[in-house]
């Protein structure tokens, strides 16, 4: 699962400031903090310039700020840093459960016309990082070595990156570890990591197998298969859960992240809580539009388990893992075989593994790049109807991206379509991208936290490595 507290909102003017905080920015920011801590989201909306109100209507403003509050808590301290891009006043912002950068810009009328929240990162001196990466046996090229170093040198010590490189259907593995500011190679293709939201691909693969076997139809509603009635008689289709158009929120309303163990936030959310939400609190908004939902895919996995009268783990083992030779993959931590790489937080300290409980279909799988490479190569078998079904377009998100069942279909990265998903949990980040035309792919598993401010380098690394395969 991926929880990134990052939002960029439209701003319309670029002003030239010095590096001394201006009184107008100070007043606006202090008022923003006051309203935020008092849950006065309408008050914050009224601080917006008209262009901001158009870009982020009150409902979206409220949803974003509530999500920020649930993850980070109230703001306890604010420190002005500098002006960015000649317009944003940038503040190191101490929340109850996070340290973030809050950037705010105002127009000539002291109205907010730009707002940006992102993780705070101390500057890392990557010049001192020693590159001990080997290019022997032609596992990687010199160019790929530089790309790997450039994207991973900012990660904390003890970070591990496990990479599968699929070139024209042939797989090679490359692993690295950072120790004492030295990045070296390591054999870790059989090492187990949390894969986070890449799990959604496997939940969608289960769905596809049910469809191909004639058990259900994509456009059927889940209502007929659940004994639990949905609040307000809401109807939800299988396909809308797999392509994030159901209108369900990212997380259920009765999962309050401010009241759970932040080190294992989903462990106690079980079937009882899900049923209570479905019958009493379920609400949809913007149904038919793309709205990424962990709840939606979790509910999809739960429904398929009910249809087959099986646990999620058992369904995966029967219908996916055994079929694609994924011997070291599981959705249950006590069934992990082999070496489990420990997840790390931003500072490089070990953190507990997440247990997704009833929402396991959204992000509860543990796997290896070796296992995932077997699954990826199977995507190139055009006779495989269930995998082909997961890659078929079901919805156009925007000009650059469509979505199939689980897979996001990237249209602008290459002349070919790329099928991609990533993932992130408290101690891990991952990315998986394949090109069925060229039979190329990159799979990356890591113990870099989804909350690490540089975690975006995992996707960046996977895309840059993919492009090197196209150049060959």
Same domain, 83 and 223: no
Burial of 383 (0-12, 13-18, 19+ CB in 10 A): exposed
Q: Are 110 and 127 in contact (CB under 8 A)?
A: no
- Please give the residue that has the higher pLDDT: either 85 or 409: 409
Do 265 and 392 fall within a single domain? yes
Report if residue 129 sits inside a domain: no
- For 51-64, what is each residue's pLDDT tens digit? 899 888 998 899 88
Residue 6: predicted pLDDT: 34
Residue 234 clears pLDDT 60, i.e. is over it: yes
Same domain membership, residue 412 and residue 329: yes
Over 60: is that where the pLDDT of 2 sits? no
Flag whether pLDDT at 232 surpasses 60: yes
**Same structural domain, 198 and 297:** yes
CB 199 within 8 A of CB 364: yes
- 238 assigned to some structural domain: yes
Among 68, 84, 119, the domain boundary falls at 119
Closest CA to 336 of 177, 159, 191: 191
pLDDT computed for residue 21 by the predictor: 86
Asked, for residue 143, whether it belongs to a domain, the answer is: no
Mean pLDDT of the chain: 90
**Packing angle between helix 142-152 and helix 456-471, nearest 10 degrees?**
170
Average pLDDT (69-89) is 82
Structure tokens at 235: 């109807």
Cα four-point dihedral sign 63, 14, 107, 38 = positive
Examine the pLDDT at 119 and tell me if it is beyond 80. no
Residue at 40 is within a domain = yes
Q: What is the pTM of this model?
A: 0.82
Report the C-alpha gap between 331 and 325 in whole angstroms: 15
Question: pLDDT at residue 16 above 70?
Answer: no
- Please report which helix (H) or strand (E) contains residue 30, including its range: helix 23-37
Q: How confident is the model at residue 11 (pLDDT cuts 50, 70, 90)?
A: very low
- Whichever domain contains 370, its CATH number is 3.40.710.10
Residue tagged 């105002």 (tokens): 106
Whether residue 330 has pLDDT greater than 50: yes
Cα–Cα distances (Å) from 76 to 31, 100, 226, in that order, read 14, 12, 44
pLDDT at 71 over 80: no
By the 10 Å C-beta count (0-12 exposed, 13-18 middle, 19+ buried), 347 is classed as: exposed
> Are 303 and 431 members of one domain?
yes
Interval 158-173 mean pLDDT: 97
- What is the predicted pLDDT for the residue at 128? 62
What is residue 257's predicted lDDT score, i.e. its pLDDT? 77
187-220 pLDDT per residue, tens: 999 999 999 999 999 999 999 999 999 999 999 9
More confident residue, 286 or 368: 368
Q: Does any domain span residue 56?
A: yes
Chain-centre distance for alpha carbon 248: 17
Q: Are residues 114 and 206 in the same domain?
A: no
Span 380-393, average pLDDT: 97
| Residue the block writes with tokens 């209507």 | 57
In this structure, what CATH number is given to the domain that contains residue 111? 3.10.450.50
Position 18 confidence tier, pLDDT thresholds 50, 70, 90: very low
What's the average model confidence in pLDDT over 364-369?
Answer: 98
Q: Which residues contact 4 (CB under 8 A, 6 or more apart)?
A: 119, 424, 450, 455
pLDDT band per the 50, 70, 90 thresholds, residue 294: very high
Residue 3 has what pLDDT? Answer: 37
Residues 207 and 109 in one domain: no
For range 370-395, the mean pLDDT: 98
Residue that terminates a domain, selected from 76, 93, 119 = 119
The stretch 277-284 carries a mean pLDDT of 96
Q: Is the pLDDT of residue 303 over 90?
A: yes
The reply to whether 240 and 388 lie within a common domain is yes
C-alpha dist (Å) from residue 118 to 102, 432, 436, 456: 7, 24, 34, 12
**Percentage above 70 pLDDT, the chain:** 92
Q: What is the pLDDT of residue 197?
A: 96
Could you tell me the two tokens for 43? 């008050």
Q: Is residue 65 domain-shared with residue 200, that is, in the same domain?
A: no
Last residue of a domain, one of 79, 102, 119: 119
Structural domain includes residue 148: no
Q: What is the pLDDT of residue 130?
A: 64
Cα separation, 35 vs 378, in Å, equals: 52
Residue 287 has pLDDT above 50, yes or no: yes
CA 105, chain centre distance (Å): 28
Residue 175 maps to a domain = no
* Total domain count, the chain: 2
Question: Between β-strands 88-95 and 75-84, what pairing exists: parallel, antiparallel or unpaired?
Answer: antiparallel
Residue 168: pLDDT above 70?
yes
**Looking at the structure, do residues 78 and 198 belong to the same domain, yes or no?**
no
d(CA 236, CA 111): 40
Q: Which residues are CB-neighbours of 462 under 8 A, at least 6 positions away?
A: 420, 431, 432, 433, 442, 443, 444
Instruction: Identify the domain containing residue 108 by its residue range.
Output: 7-119
If asked whether residues 198 and 67 sit together in one domain, one would say: no
Phi, psi of 95 (to 5 degrees): -95, 175
Residue 8: its pLDDT value, please?
A: 30
Output the CA–CA distances (angstroms, integers) from residue 381 to 200, 324, 386, 392, 407, in the order listed: 21, 12, 11, 14, 17
The answer to whether the CB of 195 falls within 8 A of the CB of 187 is: no
Average pLDDT rounded to a whole number, residues 66-89:
82
pLDDT for residue 207 = 98
Chain segment 425-448, per-residue pLDDT in tens: 999 999 999 999 999 999 999 999
φ/ψ of 239, rounded to 5, equals -65, -35
Q: Compute φ and ψ for 409, nearest 5 degrees.
A: -105, 110
The confidence score (pLDDT) of residue 9 equals 30
Q: Taking 90 as the threshold, does the pLDDT of residue 83 lie above it?
A: no
Contact 357, 270 (CB under 8 A): yes
DSSP 60-104: HHHHHHHHHHHHH--EEEEEEEEEETTTEEEEEEEESS-EEEEEE
Q: Which of 382, 417, 379, 390 is nearest to 401 (CA)?
A: 417
> Within this chain, do residues 207 and 71 fall inside the same structural domain, yes or no?
no
Q: What is the DSSP letter of 188?
A: -
How do residues 126-162 score in pLDDT, each as one tens digit?
566 667 777 656 778 999 999 999 999 999 999 999 9
Structure-model confidence comparison of residues 85 and 229, the more confident one: 229
Task: Give the Cα separation of 284 and 217 in Å (integer).
Answer: 22
On whether residue 135 sits in a domain, the answer given is: no
CB 392 within 8 A of CB 406: no
């Amino acid at each position: 699962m991926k929880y990134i507290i990052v939002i960029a909102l439209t701003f319309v003017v670029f002003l030239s400031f010095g590096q001394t905080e201006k009184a107008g920015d100070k007043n606006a920011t202090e008022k923003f903090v006051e309203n935020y801590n008092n849950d006065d989201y309408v008050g914050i909306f009224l601080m917006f310039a008209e262009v901001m109100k158009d870009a982020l209507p009150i409902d979206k403003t409220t949803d974003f700020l509530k999500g920020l509050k649930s993850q980070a808590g109230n703001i306890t301290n604010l420190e002005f840093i500098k002006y960015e891009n000649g317009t944003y006043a940038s503040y190191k912002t101490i929340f109850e459960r996070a340290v973030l950068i809050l950037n705010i810009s105002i127009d000539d009328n002291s109205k907010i016309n730009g707002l940006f929240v992102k993780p705070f990162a101390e500057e890392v001196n990557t010049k001192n990082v020693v590159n001990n990466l080997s290019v022997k046996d032609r596992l990687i090229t010199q160019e790929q070595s530089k790309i790997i170093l450039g994207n991973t040198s900012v990660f904390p010590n003890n970070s591990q990156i496990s990479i599968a490189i699929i070139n024209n259907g042939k797989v090679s593995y490359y692993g690295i570890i950072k120790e004492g500011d030295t990045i070296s190679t390591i054999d870790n293709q059989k090492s187990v990591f949390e894969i986070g939201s890449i799990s959604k691909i496997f939940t969608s693969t289960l769905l596809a197998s049910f469809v191909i076997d004639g058990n259900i139809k994509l456009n059927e509603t889940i209502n007929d298969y659940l004994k639990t009635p949905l609040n307000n008689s809401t109807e939800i289709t299988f396909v809308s859960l797999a392509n994030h158009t159901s209108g369900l929120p990212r997380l259920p309303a009765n999962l309050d992240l401010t009241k759970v163990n932040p080190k294992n936030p989903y462990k106690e959310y079980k079937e009882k809580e899900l049923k209570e939400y479905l019958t009493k609190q379920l609400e949809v908004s913007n149904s038919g539009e793309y709205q990424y939902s962990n709840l939606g895919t979790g509910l999809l996995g739960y429904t398929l388990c009910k249809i087959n009268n099986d646990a999620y783990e058992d369904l995966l083992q029967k219908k996916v893992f055994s079929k694609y030779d994924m011997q070291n993959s599981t959705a249950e931590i006590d069934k992990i075989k082999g070496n489990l790489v420990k997840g790390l937080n931003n500072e490089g300290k070990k953190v507990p593994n997440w247990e997704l409980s009833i929402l396991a279909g959204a992000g509860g799988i543990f796997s290896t790049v070796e296992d995932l490479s077997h699954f990826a190569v199977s995507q190139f078998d055009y006779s495989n109807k269930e995998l082909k079904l997961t890659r078929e377009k079901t919805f156009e998100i925007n000009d650059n991206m469509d979505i199939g069942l689980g897979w996001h279909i990237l249209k602008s990265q290459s002349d070919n379509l790329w099928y991609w998903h990533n993932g992130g949990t408290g101690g891990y980040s991952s990315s998986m991208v394949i090109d069925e035309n060229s039979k190329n792919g990159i799979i990356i598993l890591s113990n870099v936290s989804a909350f690490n401010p540089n975690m975006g380098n995992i996707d960046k690394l996977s895309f840059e490595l993919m492009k090197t395969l196209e150049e060959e």
